[in-house]
Amino acid sequence: MHLDRLVTREFQGRHWSVPARVYAAPLELYAGAPVSAADLEEQLRLLHYRRGDPSKGPGLYRRVGNGFELHARRVRFIDELREPRIVSIHADGSSITSMRQGDGNDLPVFRLDPPVIGSVFPVHGEDRLVMAPADAPPLLRQGIKLIEDRRFDEHHGIDPLGIARAIWADLRAQRLVQGGSTLTQQLVKNYFLSDEQTLSRKVTEAVMAWRLEAHYSKEEILIAYLNEVYLGQDGARAIHGFGLASEYYFAEPLDELDAAEMALLIGLVKGPSYYDPRKHPDRAIARRNLVLRELFESHLIDAATAQRAAAAPLGLKPPSGSYVPAYVDLVRRDLKRDYAEADLAAAGLSVYTSLDPRAQAAAERALMQNLARLDARSRLRGAPLEGAVVIIEPNSGDVVGVVGGREVGSAGGFNRALDGRRPIGSLVKPAVYLTALESGRYNAATLIDDAPIELKLSDGSIWVPQNFDRELHGKVPLARALAESMNLATVRLGLDLGLPKVAETLERLGLPPPALNPSLLLGTVEATPLEVVRMYTSLANGGFRARLRAVRAVLDDQGRPLKTFKVEVESAAPSAAVYELDRMLMLVATHGTAREAAARLPRGLSFAGKTGTSSDTRDSWFAGFTGSYLSVVWVGYDDNRVTGLTGAQGALPVWADTVAALKPVSFDPVAPDPVEDRWIGFADGLETTPACSADAVVIAVPKDTTLPEDPNCNPSQPKFSQPATLGDKIKSWFKGNVH
Amino acid sequence: MVQGQRALIALVPALGAVGLLLAGCPSPAPRPTPPESSAPYVTPPSETPVPTLPPQRPPQPPREHHLSPATRSLVTQAHSQLSRGDVDGASLTLDRALRIEPSNPLLWTELARVRLAENDAHQAEECARKAWALAAGDLAAQTQAAHALVDALRMQGRNQDAQQIEKSMQ
């Protein structure tokens, strides 16, 4: 009777453990949203909307030219449960043009269903997508009984004939080889018992199956089985249930599978790894066609369907389309602070995140394409290049994409975006220059000496830093020293400011407290891509640090909000000094180490950023921001070999290709009251005009700063009244519409 | 209308002073110290010179921030949620608006208002400061942000700081 209680308690309480479902942010549609008609249809397809007559029911849409009529499904958002509704949406080649409700009234804003991006499955890896009885297609119900347990509808949990057959097989093989189990027994085995094949376990299993049948209907047991059964392995993630298997193998909901696809899934029950269609396509096809023949012989499908299905290819789709394990990894870590692992893995929570699937896809594509290109170019043997990308919206701190390595689709791998802790090289320099600007003793035009320096370290050794190009540049303005990433000038500047001051700035920007070693100034400090993003958030954000936010809210299995995570901002540095620094980081893009990115970006797009290269090119970094996103890219080898790639050669192309795919807006900050824009010569730091000097660049300095003037020019002449010589930023001022 | 404009123009130097106050407070936590004791950019408002633009400088562009129809409808919704006491709902609605226009200072001021309604004076202050920074060059938007900031400071009992900003806005 103990087993009886166990069976009822477990089965009643929670029929199966449901891992937390993780959702991306819904796509917001509004007039002017950068979503073309083609984009919209692609999004609808990804959300499993089908073409059809929308008046027939939710899930259908009709497209006429660039006009869409959509019957949106019932969908839960963080803040509302929206009932099904019909909307019409017009788009053109680049954006949404208008939207109306079903009654013809204007609709100012409308969001699509939030896409599922994964689940927080438990450590043993069980993932599933639970289906309700109504979602189980008849062919699946009939088919699974036919193949796995023909007398399911008659027996009481145990099938003596089946057992006899199994014992006969075991005797012949002199060991336990065949289960002979009913669906009920298989369910009990998966649900309550370990995997060992002993006689006593078999007895227990039989008793429990019998008790389960006594308490529950055939329908309840069948649905539980369909949700429970193991159907494949994706890295650390175990694919359980037909609902998830359908997504995993075919990227389609179960009720849209054809006979061939359904037969493949039914056939997989017998041995998901032996018949793994991705690893052993021939075995999988043979097994599928065997199932198809049985389905035909039992009149579940007709001859024509069976023949067509048997001739069909496997039709597998890559599972990475909607699953984003690297991002879900970040979500899981965020939630671990507030939730027990067991609740995340079993309590049926819904987790709503900031992920933007388009940003994620752009970053994945940019990383994979560039790594493939760089690998092909290098003749080094061994494991291929790896990389990581983190991309955020800097104002809110919303993390919109995370790529943890080149195997983007598989769970459980090493997540370089979160765990790849590497020396950040010159990415540290903006903190040195910010410290200088905040001190009030330096501005962007101040000359510093890029000259040799030797330092005696505390351990008695002598440190002799060098420039990457092994050249000396003499007296250079701060702005150029940063743009060209000069090591000697930076070390001299940092020592003048004092290491504790620089370390304090790094901490204020969100890095862990670094050791006060002079090599800190050249970036021996180690950080993960995520930590670097945190550090740069304040720079992309006018001096405000935004708390990085992957999770927006957690809802319980009834849709009630358990916790919401709000936007949080904090002043980390004075906005004026940050603006002065940002102007210098924009020179990195136009005149410095990142200027090669322009070829990959829309013409005239302005951005700010910094390249980083660790010793002997073991790590290639780029951190940069446009008006839309801040993103950090790392490229290197897992075993820390030399890559031969600078930040500009390895990470920068990945960054630029990601940005270019996202309809970027220029980084166009407004000077805060205490500072103003001025022109100086990039080489000499003297105040000049663009008409006078070919290398004139814009810097920002505190108002009323006196700059030494270029004797060959007359900077006091009006210089902002000649539109032909002005940069894009100033042109936009005159248009009077900068936002 | 003309009068309104004149009033706004009169605010220019005064708001400059608010800007100095704002720029001088990169404090990570609420601090009771008066702002003039903190960072290099702080000048007491009375000593702030009226900014005059030297002729050779670019004319500072007048920036005007607006809400798009989409974010306006969400802000309207947030207002009605606030008026029925649904502060959580208002917060989530503004979160949605910020996804559409993350750098619009008007939305950050709205967020500061919601944080006030949540009695989160510290975040209200930070959001108002951020709104102020984003609104550089837009007098109307900066004025809104400054009002929210004053309320946030008062909620923290920092009346002296609040008065200083109010005085400079008169």
Q: Alpha-carbon distance B78 to B101, whole Å?
A: 15
Which residues have CB under 8 Å from A491's CB, separation 6+? A453, A455, A465, A518, A521, A522
Q: What pLDDT is stored for residue B28 in this prediction? A: 39
Residue A30 has its nearest CB partner, among B70, B88, B104, at B70
Residue B73 has its nearest CB partner, among A108, A438, A674, at A108
As to burial, measured by CB atoms within 10 angstroms (0-12 exposed, 13-18 middle, 19+ buried), residue A298 is middle
Q: What pLDDT is stored for residue A160 in this prediction? A: 76
Residues of A in contact with B74 (CB under 8 A): 109
As to burial, measured by CB atoms within 10 angstroms (0-12 exposed, 13-18 middle, 19+ buried), residue A200 is exposed
Q: Which of A11, A3, A5 is nearest to A200 (CA)?
A: A3
* Min Cα separation B35/chain A (Å): 13
Q: Which residue type sits at A666? A: S
Q: Which residues of A336-353 are buried (b: 16+ CB within 10 A; e: fewer)?
A: eeebeeebbbbbbbbbbb
Give CA angle at A663 (A660, A665), nearest 5°: 100
Q: For the beta carbon of residue A475, count every other beta carbon within 10 angstroms.
A: 13
Q: For the beta carbon of residue B49, count every other beta carbon within 10 angstroms.
A: 10
Instruction: Determine the average pLDDT of the residues in A121-132.
Output: 70
Q: How confident is the model at residue A175 (pLDDT cuts 50, 70, 90)?
A: low
CB pairs under 8 A between A and B: 144
Residue with tokens 């890219």: A633
Q: What pLDDT is stored for residue A474 in this prediction? A: 95
| CATH 1.10.3810.10 matches A121-150+229-323 | yes
The second-level CATH assignment, the architecture, of B68-170 is: Alpha Horseshoe (1.25)
* Min Cα separation A356/chain B (Å): 10
Instruction: Determine the average pLDDT of the residues in A467-478.
Output: 93
Whether residues A569 and B23 touch (CB distance < 8 A) is answered with: no
Whether residues A575 and B23 touch (CB distance < 8 A) is answered with: yes
Inter-axis angle of helices A2-13 and A199-215, nearest 10: 60
Whether residues B100 and A570 touch (CB distance < 8 A) is answered with: no
In B, minimum Cα distance to A667 occurs at: B103
* Min Cα separation B3/chain A (Å): 23
What are the C-alpha distances in Å from A238 to residues A184, A255, A411, A730?
Answer: 21, 22, 10, 56
Q: Catalytic site residues of A?
A: 148, 426
The second-level CATH assignment, the architecture, of A151-228 is: Orthogonal Bundle (1.10)
Whether residues B99 and A28 touch (CB distance < 8 A) is answered with: yes
In A, minimum Cα distance to B73 occurs at: A108
Q: What pLDDT is stored for residue B14 in this prediction? A: 46
Residue B40 has its nearest CB partner, among A440, A717, A736, at A440
Q: Is the pLDDT of residue A238 over 90?
A: no
Q: Which three-class secondary structure state does DSSP give residue B64?
A: coil
Which residues have CB under 8 Å from A375's CB, separation 6+? A384, A385
Contact A416, A329 (CB under 8 A): no
As to burial, measured by CB atoms within 10 angstroms (0-12 exposed, 13-18 middle, 19+ buried), residue B13 is middle
Q: Is the pLDDT of residue A305 over 80?
A: yes
Q: Is the pLDDT of residue A303 over 90?
A: yes
Q: What pLDDT is stored for residue B132 in this prediction? A: 94
| CATH 3.40.50.300 matches A26-113 | no
Q: Alpha-carbon distance A244 to A227, whole Å?
A: 9
Which residues have CB under 8 Å from A176's CB, separation 6+? A170, A197
Q: Is the pLDDT of residue A346 over 90?
A: no
Tokens at A497, concatenated: 């400011």
* Min Cα separation A475/chain B (Å): 27
* Min Cα separation B91/chain A (Å): 8
- For chain B, which residues score pLDDT lower than 70? 1-62
Contact A404, A362 (CB under 8 A): no
Counting Cα atoms < 13 Å in the Cβ hemisphere of A486 gives: 25
Give the mutation candidate from A79, A400, A714 for the B interface (greatest B CB count, under 10 A). A79
Helix or strand run (H / E) with residue A70: strand A67-72
Contact A477, A442 (CB under 8 A): no
Residues of B in contact with A720 (CB under 8 A): 56-59
Q: What pLDDT is stored for residue A247 in this prediction? A: 84
Q: How confident is the model at residue A379 (pLDDT cuts 50, 70, 90)?
A: low
Residue B126 has its nearest CB partner, among A542, A569, A672, at A569
In the DSSP assignment, the letter for residue A10 is H
Whether residues B56 and A736 touch (CB distance < 8 A) is answered with: no
DSSP letters for B72-122: HHHHHHHHHHHHTT-HHHHHHHHHHHHHH-TT-HHHHHHHHHHHHHTT-HH
In B, minimum Cα distance to A568 occurs at: B123
**In terms of DSSP bridges, do strands A237-240 and A526-527 run parallel, antiparallel, or are they unpaired?**
unpaired
Contact A583, A700 (CB under 8 A): yes
Give per-residue pLDDT as tens, A12-48.
654 566 778 899 999 999 999 999 999 999 999 888 8
If you average pLDDT over every residue of chain A, what do you get?
Answer: 87
Q: How confident is the model at residue A87 (pLDDT cuts 50, 70, 90)?
A: very high
- Note the ipTM here: 0.80
Q: Is the pLDDT of residue A104 over 70?
A: yes
Whether residues A719 and B56 touch (CB distance < 8 A) is answered with: yes
Q: How confident is the model at residue A410 (pLDDT cuts 50, 70, 90)?
A: low
Q: For the beta carbon of residue A444, count every other beta carbon within 10 angstroms.
A: 28
Q: Is the pLDDT of residue A225 over 50?
A: yes
Give the mutation candidate from A109, A112, A438, A507 for the B interface (greatest B CB count, under 10 A). A109
Please, what is the end-to-end C-alpha distance for chain A in angstroms?
A: 72
Q: Is the pLDDT of residue A396 over 60?
A: yes
Q: Which of A556, A127, A130 is nearest to A323 (CA)?
A: A127
Within chain A, which residue ranges are assigned CATH 1.10.3810.10? 121-150+229-323, 151-228
Give the mutation candidate from A29, A567, A692 for the B interface (greatest B CB count, under 10 A). A567
Whether residues A674 and B41 touch (CB distance < 8 A) is answered with: yes
Q: Which of A562, A566, A560 is nearest to A548 (CA)?
A: A566
Whether residues B98 and A719 touch (CB distance < 8 A) is answered with: no
The DSSP bridge partners found for residue A391 are: A401, A631
In B, minimum Cα distance to A688 occurs at: B56
In A, minimum Cα distance to B87 occurs at: A79
